[in-house]
C-alpha cells in the first residue's frame, strides 16, 4: 500500500518534533530515499565546512541536495537534528580511521589522550564544520536526545577502544564519562576562541590522568 517507505512519523507537538533514529533500524529506506538522505548530509557538511553553524541554512541545504524544503524536514525534523546526524556520519568515518592506526601510548591514559588529540587535529582541519556540529550537539534539547545519545555512545566506544578494555569497571566508565564531558566542553571553548589549541591539549591530558586513578587491578599485560 505505501509508496517509498515511511521516513518518520510526525506528531503534532506544540513546538518541537521528533526524529527517526539514525541507527539502521526503523523502516528501511528505498534506494532513492537513501540517496536523498546522503545528498542532504553531504550538502549539510559542505555548507557547514564553509561558514559553520550559521551557514547551514535549511533552504540552502534543500536546494543543494535537490530536495524540497518539506522533504528535508521529513528526513530531519530540525536543523539541530540535521547537524547531529551530520556529526554521527562524521564520527563513523573518524572511528573507522582511528581503528586502522591504534594509538601507541604505553598506558591507557596516554592512548586515550593520543586518540582524542588525533581527533582534535582532524577537527582543526575543518573548524567550521566542527563548529556547526558541536554547537548543534550542545544546543540540542530533549527532542534530540536519542540522536545525541547515539553520538555519545559512539564517542564512548572510541575512547574504550583506545583504552583497550573489554570489561571496564564502573569506575572506569565514570572516568570515561568525565573525559567526554571535558572533551565536549574543551572543544567549545576552543571553537569560541576562549582557549588555545595548547590549552585544549593540556585539559585533555589532565583529565586522562583520571584513567590511571581508576585502574586498580592490572593495567599492563
Q: Quick one: CA torsion of 150, 153, 155, 156, rounded to 10 degrees?
A: 170
Q: Please report how close the Cβ of residue 197 comes to a second copy at its closest, in angstroms.
A: 14
Query: Does 196 interact with DNA (rule: CB under 7 A)?
Result: no
64 interacts with DNA by CB under 7 A: no
- Phi/psi for 3 (5° steps) reads -100, -125
Residue 41's binding partner among a second copy, DNA, none (Cβ under 5 to 8 angstroms by kind) is none
Residue with cell 564520527: 91
Under rule CB under 7 A, residue 100 binds DNA: no
What is the DSSP secondary-structure string of 90-119?
A: HHHHHHHHHHHS----SSHHHHHHHHHHHH
Question: CA 45 to CA 124: how far, in whole Å?
Answer: 15
22 touching a second copy, by CB under 8 A: no
Closest CA to 172 of 216, 123, 115: 216
24, 25, 59, 218: residue in contact with DNA (rule CB under 7 A): 59
The site for a second copy (CB under 8 A) is made up of 15, 53-54, 135, 138-142, 144-145, 148-149, 152, 171, 174-175, 177-178, 180-182, 184-186, 188-189, 192-194, 199, 202-203, 206-207, 209-210, 213-214
Residues near DNA (CB under 7 A) are: 1-7, 12, 15-17, 30, 32-33, 36, 54, 56-59, 66-71, 73-74, 77-80
Amino acid at each position: 500500500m505505501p509508496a517509498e517507505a515511511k521516513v518518520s512519523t510526525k506528531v503534532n507537538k506544540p513546538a518541537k518534533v521528533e526524529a527517526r533514529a539514525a541507527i539502521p533500524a526503523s523502516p528501511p529506506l528505498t534506494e532513492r530515499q537513501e540517496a536523498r538522505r546522503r545528498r542532504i548530509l553531504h550538502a549539510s557538511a559542505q555548507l557547514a565546512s564553509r561558514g559553520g553553524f550559521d551557514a547551514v541554512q535549511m533552504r540552502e541545504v534543500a536546494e543543494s541536495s535537490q530536495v524540497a524544503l518539506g522533504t528535508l524536514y521529513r528526513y530531519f525534523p530540525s536543523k539541530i537534528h540535521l547537524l547531529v546526524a551530520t556529526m554521527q556520519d562524521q564520527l563513523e568515518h573518524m572511528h573507522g580511521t582511528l581503528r586502522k592506526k591504534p594509538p601507541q601510548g604505553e598506558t591507557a591514559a596516554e592512548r586515550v589522550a593520543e586518540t582524542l588529540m588525533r581527533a582534535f587535529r582532524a577537527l582543526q582541519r575543518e573548524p567550521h564544520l566542527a563548529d556547526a556540529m558541536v554547537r548543534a550537539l550542545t544546543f540540542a534539547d530533549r527532542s534530540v536526545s536519542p540522536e545525541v545519545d547515539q553520538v555519545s555512545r559512539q564517542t564512548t566506544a572510541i575512547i574504550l577502544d583506545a583504552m583497550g578494555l573489554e570489561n571496564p569497571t564502573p569506575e572506569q566508565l565514570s572516568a570515561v564519562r568525565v573525559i567526554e564531558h571535558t572533551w565536549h566542553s574543551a572543544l567549545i571553548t576552543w571553537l569560541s576562541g576562549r582557549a588555545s589549541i595548547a590549552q585544549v591539549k593540556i585539559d585533555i591530558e589532565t583529565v586522562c590522568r583520571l584513567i590511571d586513578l581508576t585502574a586498580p587491578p592490572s593495567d599492563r599485560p
